[in-house]
Amino acid sequence: MKNLLSGLAFVMALASFVPLAQAEIREVDVTGGRVAGVPDGAIVSFKGIPFAAPPVHSLRWKAPQAVEPWSGVKQASAYGPSCMQDPNFAKIFNTLAGISEDCLYLNLWTPAKTPGDKLPVMVWIYGGGFVGGMTSVPDYDGIHLAEKGVVLVSVAYRLGVFGFLADPELSREAKTSGNYGLEDMIAGLQWVKTNIAKFGGDPSRVTIFGESAGGIAVSMLAASPAAKGLFQRAISESGGNFGPARMGNEGGVNMVTLKSAEASGHAFLAKLGANDINAARTLDAQKIQAALGPGLQGGFWPVFDGNFLPGDQYELYLAGRFNDTPVLIGTNSDEGALFAQPGMTKGKFESQIREGYGKEADAILSAYPHATDAQAAQSAMDVFRETAFAWPTWAWAMLQSQKGHGKAFVYYFDHRTPQSPPNGATHGSEIVYVFHNLGGILLGTNVKMQVRPEDTAMADLMTTYWSNFAKNADPNGKALPAWPAFSGADQRVMFFDTHSSARPAPNMGQVKAFDGYYAWRREEAKARRAN
């Protein structure tokens, strides 16, 4: 009996000792009040933390305001509502999150044991064409990336007309308008700077990363004076914003000037019967959303407002006016497949190129096979790949390597599965590997991902590179394929495929055809400004 009691005492002592060794950060005082997280193994998650006041009623179309304090302990166990958007996006992204104007919440996963751990921080910005997207997408769950020794944060931002409406009255009210969604991201980063140390994060080692519109937003923050000092590394997956402002039907450009955005925004509000901004702020949010139309329609996008986005980022980089950090950026091999236009023919393809690309059309057409309708269909997708993703990424890498002190690391994702399109890795397909969230429902389908050993190996590789970059400003590490920094003299990129290694990108001929096109458009824009 004595031995039994001694054994029990030992077990109880051991049990009491283990929690001390595994102590976690479970309750934290943050801006606004106290929050309680949810432990899951070695990671504690905090979901639905408000970082700004609800942007509703009189705060609609205003910069994010200070968070409203709460009493007691807020149980941070569930995602906040998604920002206003077409409800079908929730189905596309495989999430059941509710939709509301009251949506400025962030989420956090921490492996830290004490606030003094000072772990690197990664802040995720979701994609969705600036009209859809949410932090609650299962693919974005941060637990596995946090297990690599980083504090992971995901931040919500306003979308569509709620996030990017410009109007002359709004511009007079705040000296600018049209970039409320970007202001939300900046407010989220300011919250991180103020609060992240309490979660064991290091506010001097913050990496922003995002995909698609989120990756474009990362590039915008890299050029925004308002974001200066809020991050020290940047990762952009299929995103970049280095074209000039659109003035007409130019191909391959999305940004507009503040004046142009104000005119279209004012016309939109007039269509809704709102005579002024006060009247517009009383409109039902669902009515406004319904007027946009479904899916990616709506036409609201960030704006060259002269403030948060001073102007053409290519020119800003040439002038050294950007937030100089190391960058890790790249694209996927068949990005355009997700955006394929039905019924493409060789005649239609040639007509579209000539209408959109002016005097550079011949050079572009010569870079893309289109002798048959099948070739034209693939080339149309590849043109979308180059203009939306590949050329901005290459231009960013060139400018960063030439004008910045931070290194640029570039990748080309071509990992294929039995469920991939026939010609490569489609848009967004790298995300589940970056977050190591394999086996879920594939984006926009009801099909469950079949996980193979090579998929797990790819996820291991990419999470290691991404977390290494967050830790050290360099993705390289022990037992990894060497990833050289990009430069004009050495333009190798890291291929993620069956034999991951650094090699020249296969679409550089097409990318460089567009480099000539964008140079011509920039000169046109300068001439317009001069006149």
Q: Enumerate the active-site residues.
A: 212, 335, 427
Q: Which candidate, 114, 11, 106, places its Cα nearest to that of 52?
A: 106
Q: Are 181 and 167 in contact (CB under 8 A)?
A: no
Task: Kindly provide the b/e burial profile for residues 222-240, where b requires at least 16 CB atoms within 10 angstroms of the residue's own CB.
Answer: bbbebbeebbbbbbbbbbb
**Distance (Å, rounded) from C-alpha 458 to C-alpha 464?**
10
The Cα-based distances of 185 to 64, 134, 191, 224 in angstroms read 10, 13, 10, 12
Determine phi and psi for 203, rounding to 5 degrees: -65, -10
> Which residue has 């824009």 as its token pair?
525
Q: Which residues contact 97 (CB under 8 A, 6 or more apart)?
A: 79, 81, 82, 90, 134, 136
Region of residue 128 (phi > 0: left; psi between -120 and 50: alpha; otherwise: beta) = left
Taking every pair of C-alpha atoms in the chain, what is the biggest distance, in angstroms? 98
Q: Are 166 and 6 in contact (CB under 8 A)?
A: no
Q: Are 166 and 269 in contact (CB under 8 A)?
A: no
3-state secondary structure of 40: strand
Q: Which residues contact 133 (CB under 8 A, 6 or more apart)?
A: 82, 85, 89, 93, 126, 127, 159, 213, 214
**Distance (Å, rounded) from C-alpha 241 to C-alpha 396?**
8
